[in-house]
Chains A and B, each alone.
Chain A
Amino acid sequence: MRQELLLIAIAVILLIVEIFLPDSRKQRIILPAILMMAAATVAGFFPGTPGELFGGMYQSTRLTMMLKNILNIGVLIVFIQSVDWLKQPQNQDRISEYFLLMLSTLIGMNYMISAGDFLMFYIGLELATIPIAALAAYERMKERSAEAGVKLIFISALSSGVLLYGLSMIYGTTGTMYFKDIAPLITGAPLQVLAFIFFFSGMAFKISLVPFHLWTADVYEGAPVNVTSYLSVISKGAAVFIFTIILYTVFAKIAVMWSDLLYIITILTITVGNLFALRQQNLKRFLAFSSIAQAGFILLGIIGQSQLGMATVVYFALVYIFSNLGAFGVIGIISNRTGKENMSDYDGLYRTNPNLSLVMMLALFSLAGIPPLAGFFGKFFLFTAAVNQGYYIFTLIALINTIISLYYYLLVIKAMLLNRSDNPIAHFRSDSYSRIGLLICVAGIMAVGFASVIYEMVFSLSFGLY
């Protein structure tokens, strides 16, 4: 509960300070906001006591605390990375709104993860979704940004509707909303299977699994870079966490059914995501499709069904936060400074901006799963979890897909390091906030794999179906 309360406190403080700040001094809110977020992140790591509230609607366990810490780290990095962009003249009048909206979605995600029944889950989900639509439309003078916001809100409404329909059927067949009461009553009756399909589709929209992914690329391209990175990493990560928990607890009894379903969806998601990423020129779209494929890899762990499976899901999400935020961080800095977002603009970047290129290279190699970076460990463990369950062919398909993904990640690296350009992006010094943000990402990419203690901790808090 402490984590949510801290976040709410920060939001309230920001809201009050906002009232007293004149428009010309809005920038002053940035540093305190980041410091408070950092403090909240650190505070989250102090051991708390597990417990429940509202008659079990809200449950706090050591697992959920850890998941919230992971999300906090991600949001902190996003905050730091957005400073340069927020300071731009056209955004200056609504700096505090940015932080407020971000914090409310994060609070929503925290409640969603801690949900003990479907009602709390749904409230959290909505709280997490609606502010993001506002954030996507943050650059209101840009048509694409407004379009992204509208698309996101429509898709969210649709998927929430589908999800709710599923939940109502579950309530209809079991007569309760509590996870622990529903679990024994799931028998695999036809109506429950239908309910599960609806629930699954709703979640698939949120995680943007194929064939529910069509909104992703447009929204990612239109939204501001920092919001895109938030969408692709944190919002997706939170949805995956709760999805895993619900599958492993509520729907444990029909695991045979959902693992077959996941099998097909996973292969589709990885393959389609990869094949579409191959031809993208805009780097935000490119990372959008690559993040669809990465979500597919995460499902590999869910399908593992064991304690190992859940541990690898959480661990991979952590690794993914650092890697993807690193890549988005670089794209954001370059987009802010030059407005360039296409792959061909990056030709010869290494010769003018070696450090940014190196960060980008490390992040992409980590996403591709190249040792000794964190992504390698994440992927290796995911594959181990899937093979452990006997899915050899399935893993082979996923592995072949990692090679396809390596190809398109190498395309970016090729543009930066191998290609020469007559008019490359000129050399510039990025501001210290961006540097700190990238530094955290690089440290995560380099260290998470070697520090086995992180994995061990995740593993000890995870649970499996049996």
Chain B
Amino acid sequence: MSLSIFIIIPLLTVAGILLCKTHQQVKWVAVVGMSLQLLSAITLILMFLAERRAGNMAEVIFTQDYVWYQTLNIHYFVGVDGVSVAMIGLTALVVFAGIFASWDVTDLPREFFTSLILLASGVFGFFISLDLFTMFLFYELAVIPMYLLIGIWGSGPRHYSAMKLTLMLMGGSAFILLGIVGLYINSAPGGGPLTFDLIRISKETLPMDIQRFLFPLLFIGFGVLGAMFPFHTWSPDGHASAPTAVSMLHAGVLMKLGGYGCYRVAVFLLPQAAHEMGWIFLILATIGVIYGALGAIWQKDLKYINAYSSVSHCALVLFAILMFNQTAMNGAIMQMISHGIMTALFFALIGMIYGRTHTRYINEMGGLMKVMPFLAVAYVIGGLASLGLPGFSGFVAEMTIFVGSFQNADTFHRVATIIAASSIVVTAVYILRVVGILLLGQIRNPEYESLTDAKWHDKISVVALIAGITFIGMAPLWLSDMINGGLGPVVQKLMTAGN
């Protein structure tokens, strides 16, 4: 399978959108394009599984490698392993749902969908890239449309939030750039041509002083996008101001770029430094888990609640990655996927509720279960998944993480695990609080009696996401096996580095 279609389809969709005349055409072109993308992602998953079953155990498969800049040895090099296939599936699902969730965009629709899909193409490109240069190119391509999306179509203090988010994320990417160039310059310690090729660099052992310098750069750089405490401050403001589909995409997919980058670049390529300095970031991640959860309790705005909850869940991803063992890392990837779908569902629902009630403050609403049962039930399902109820994807992910992290037998890791695990209780508090105030009880505002339930396009978006959550919750084994296959080389490298 040619992986380049994951970049070509979005670009063709954008071209199609630019040719459209009317609002309706724009939406349908976007729907067709992203449905195709979702189908290709499902095909990719099936073909990948078939390939593995057939015994193709290469580290990355479906590779394509073209030389781009000869003298600098920059390649267009793509390929996937189990982890990236899972992330591509997640992205395709969330983007698909996002298109339907933004059905009501009327102001400059062409520009909106163009930016949204350009952003998506950046994300896809990032996940399939195996060359650090192209990876970084796609990374920035995914971040920049955010400025326009939040600034033009957002709500509240959108100009401020958009600027803050863009500058913080681009600040992070400045660190990443230096990290990547540093990796490139030191990519051939034994002589030979320098390379940006991720797989080739992973076969080398870089000098320790270089690793000590580059690891924090890369981990913090990607960590900013992964909402690592204390660099998470862009996230609540950004999510709260962003339009629905953008919040979905951002919390659901874009923040995963950060986690994936930490795992794929920082930890994988610099394992010795990761072992040496991981504890610093582990402390930060643990703080983030608790801090995000506690933050969510105090918020009154639905989007802020969900944004803080995302900070907490994404910190859990970094927490699990820094445990450096197979089980915990598997949990980390599962958590990324589970949280990606879950949080996209939440933001979609919040957007739909806001579109009807025109407020996001939970105190002003109540009894929505009576007027919009479909959305309310979906919200409860999302909430239950979020607090880790068995049968949903959240349970599988968090269970795996905590089992894995408890395998580290020393006091430091155990204490961190116990602290982080206690966030589950806090999560239950804020989820149930919202469900209680927002959905149950009496309708406080008589105007809400006449509100309508979800429309067909809302339903498509919600059902697609709920299907994802429950499917992974009920049948997690194929996914976790697929991820395990991808984790193998990384964990092995970490193990040898640790001894």
Report A's interface with B, CB cutoff 8 A. Answer: 308, 365, 370-372, 376, 380-381, 383-384, 387-388, 392, 395-396, 399-400, 402-403, 406-407, 410, 413-414, 417-418, 452, 455-456, 459
Contact = CB atoms under 8 A, between A and B. Distances in A.
Given A402-B174, A403-B170, A456-B69, A371 B137 contact: yes
7 contacts: A308-B71, A308-B72, A372-B137, A387-B185, A410-B147, A456-B70, A456-B71
B443 interface: no
Nearest to A307: B71
The 5 closest A-B pairs by CB, nearest first: A399-B174, A418-B151, A371-B137, A452-B69, A387-B181
A392 B178 CA distance: 8
A372 B185 CA distance: 22
Contact of A399 (B68, B162, B178, B184): B178
A383 B151 contact: no
Contacts of B167: 403, 406-407
Nearest to B210: A392
Contacts of B213: 392
Interface in B152-176: 152, 158-159, 162-163, 166-167, 170-171, 174-175
Given A370-B140, A403-B170, 16 more contacts: A371-B137, A372-B137, A380-B177, A383-B178, A387-B181, A387-B185, A392-B182, A406-B167, A406-B170, A410-B166, A414-B151, A418-B158, A418-B162, A452-B68, A452-B70, A456-B70
B174 A400 contact: yes
Nearest to B144: A370
Contacts of A414: 151, 159, 163
Contacts of A380: 133, 136, 177, 181
Nearest to B163: A410
Contacts of B175: 399
A459 B73 CA distance: 13
Interface of B: 68-72, 74, 133, 136-138, 140-141, 144, 147-148, 151-152, 158-159, 162-163, 166-167, 170-171, 174-175, 177-178, 181-182, 184-185, 213
B166 A406 contact: yes
Contacts of A417: 148, 151-152
Given A403-B167, A456-B70, A372 B177 contact: no
A376 B163 CA distance: 20
Contacts of A395: 178, 181
A371 B70 contact: no
A84 to B, nearest CB: 27
A365 B148 CA distance: 12
B327 to A, nearest CB: 36
Contacts of A384: 72, 181, 184-185
Nearest to B74: A452
A459 B74 CA distance: 14
Nearest to A389: B185
A372 B166 contact: no
A387 B70 CA distance: 19
Contact of A407 (B133, B163, B184): B163
Nearest to B181: A387
Contacts of B133: 380
Contacts of B69: 452, 455-456
Contacts of A371: 136-138, 140-141
A381 B148 CA distance: 27
A418 B175 CA distance: 28
Contacts of B137: 371-372, 376
Contacts of A413: 147-148
A458 to B, nearest CB: 10
Contacts of B148: 413, 417-418
B26 to A, nearest CB: 15
A402 B173 CA distance: 11
A357 to B, nearest CB: 11
Nearest to B153: A418
A446 to B, nearest CB: 13
B130 to A, nearest CB: 17
B185 to A, nearest CB: 5
A3 to B, nearest CB: 26
Contact of A387 (B151, B159, B182): B182
A400 B138 CA distance: 20
A459 B69 CA distance: 11
Nearest to A400: B174
A99 B137 CA distance: 41
Q: Which of A381, A383, A407, A418 has the most CB of B within 10 A?
A: A418
Nearest to A452: B69
